[in-house]
Structure 1
């Protein structure tokens, strides 16, 4: 008697089509206003401006999750909140690299908002492509979750172990090769990609910056997309989680730019989240197994299913705990520094 086919691991979208269409329209408006109207103003935003924009998009994400709950039920809503928190946390970690790139290429502060606008647009495009590819893969080949899970576990371990050169940006081979074949000027010319010096046309460093951020975003997608697919199989929730994570990222960059190096426990928190999701993916792959060399191609009965609410709880505790411990560590270091200055002042007196 032939064995029953393995159950598909991909659930169809649970939200009404009209709601999804309305969502895409509103998100497109949000994105255009955030990046190409507000984001194109050549200035360094104030702390008040940054907080206002970030708070607005966080509230919008919370409201959107509530709307999903109302239209589709609690399960997809919890999946959205879990995915959004995970992607937002990964986006914060990605800001470390943005800061290093901006510093490495000496991007003037007045045009950093524009550079971020282009970089975030790249991120949205790349993540959209990866979401489509990921959806197609897992709908046909359930075993791909073994690969996703293993990759996330590897990434989690790498975040904890770290490298001595993690705080340095290294140009990839594409950029190094480009420098050898095209003329690149030493100075920026506003937002221009091309400039003329003594009658000779040059590419400005802006082109290299765009390429650096764009190719880096590809690597970000390799982390973020498997992570979100470990929490939900609904492409609509996967995509909206990513968009809400990217909205307001400009302002978050300027708000946290001076504090990113003080969030010392954020990599540990992200490591817990990615490691947990990686294990969850492997368990789901075992639960829906179809590989002939594992349990004879049959689902592994003992592989537990982790409820979505457990995923959300782990994410909140891990990221919230990492942020809280980082703040406490920062205050301890500030207090120690202040005490050392007072002792030094007393000795000099």
Structure 2
């Protein structure tokens, strides 16, 4: 696949532009409702599909199918990531109007880290072709492990990352708007929002360890791997606000994701023995995800939305207007310049 430099620059420019539009649209903290989340989800999905059509027209059907297979895999695996976010937010009692700020920066970090992982993965595959078998074994084992632990819950309050963060970073239990750092008694301390952002970033890095090898099972083209990841990730924020209160209904999703990981692992392991067409891979992944989601919704029909429950990671509260005003007044104060010794 011959990808000219201008295509890379155009994609990166489009991603930056979309992030800027999203940031401008949500420049003021507010609660994002289901209708707004649905509208943005449609925008992001249409963007991903439109780019896939561009790939199909410019480089042919085979590469177009590889992109859509990768996009579907990343989008599917991202749903589980969204559920982890919901548990983290619940554990830290993050006000809904502050959640988008964390997710925006989290997605920005995810794009950067995944770009690094994709470059590293492509370099490994190019120089050590046998690494594909390592990826395949890892995906199969990960899928089996996910199937075995599908009923276990995440506990952010027990996170090693959180313990290390609290040990080395002074932290207050008060939310001061969208601030990540505040100065208290002359000392710079982190708000709970910074701890949540760190956990969100670490969570995405962990998920990238699964998803990046999975997408390399359907395409070895770095351009397709990166763009499929990027367009899938860009819609995660809207997906979170759309699905966060519906976690309890996706009871079979992890089973579906486990089978997807095992399937792409088997496909990668058989690469030199038996070639599975991209069309078949795409169809199998789509079938597995559709069945798991459909079965989940049928089994839980009649259940409405409900907030996510999680063990509290601490006693958190939102700063009062007086506390915020006091903080701002301290920030506006300028230190007095020393006058030195009085002249005689």
TM-score class normalised by the smaller sequence: 0.7 to 0.9
Deviation at 1:24, TM superposition (A): 2.5
Q: TM-score, normalised by structure 2?
A: 0.84
1:60 aligns with 2:30: no
Whole-angstrom CA distance in 2 between matches of 1:194 and 1:17: 39
Give the alignment's TM-score, normalised by structure 1: 0.82
Aligned residue among 287, 298, 302 for 1:328: 298
User: Quick check: 2:91–2:157 contact (8 Å CA) kept in 1?
Assistant: no
Q: 2:201 aligns with which of 192, 202, 214?
A: 214
Q: Aligned Cα RMSD in Å?
A: 1.8
Question: 1:304 is paired with a residue of what secondary structure?
Answer: coil
Q: Distance in 2 between matches of 1:181 and 1:66?
A: 48
Which residue number in structure 1 is paired with residue 10 of structure 2? 22
Q: How big is the shift at 1:39?
A: 3.8
Partner of 1:317: 287
Residues 249 and 303 in structure 2, CA contact (< 8 A), matched pair in contact too = no
The unaligned stretches of length 5 or more in structure 2 are: 305-344
- Please state whether the residue corresponding to 1:122 is helix, strand or coil: helix
Query: Which of 149, 160, 164 is the matching residue for 1:173?
Result: 160
1:272 paired with 2:242, answer no
In structure 1, what is the equivalent of residue 37 of structure 2?
50
Query: 1:322 deviation in Å?
Result: 0.9
Q: In the alignment, which of 271, 276, 279 is matched to residue 306 of structure 1?
A: 276
Tell me whether 72-81 or 318-327 shows the greater mean CA deviation: 318-327
2:250, 2:297 within 8 Å by CA — same for their partners in 1? yes
- Deviation string for 1:97-148 (max 9, x for gaps)? 1011111111111110101111111111111110010000000001111111
Task: Tell me the residue number matched to 2:219.
Answer: 232
Give the distance between the partners of 2:208 and 2:95, measured in 1 at CA.
27
5+ residue gaps, structure 1, are: 1-12, 288-302, 335-349
Partner residue, 1:33? 21
Deviations 1:290-336 (A, max 9, x none): xxxxxxxxxxxxx10111111100111001111111111111668xx
Deviations 1:244-277 (A, max 9, x none): 1012211111111110221111111111111010
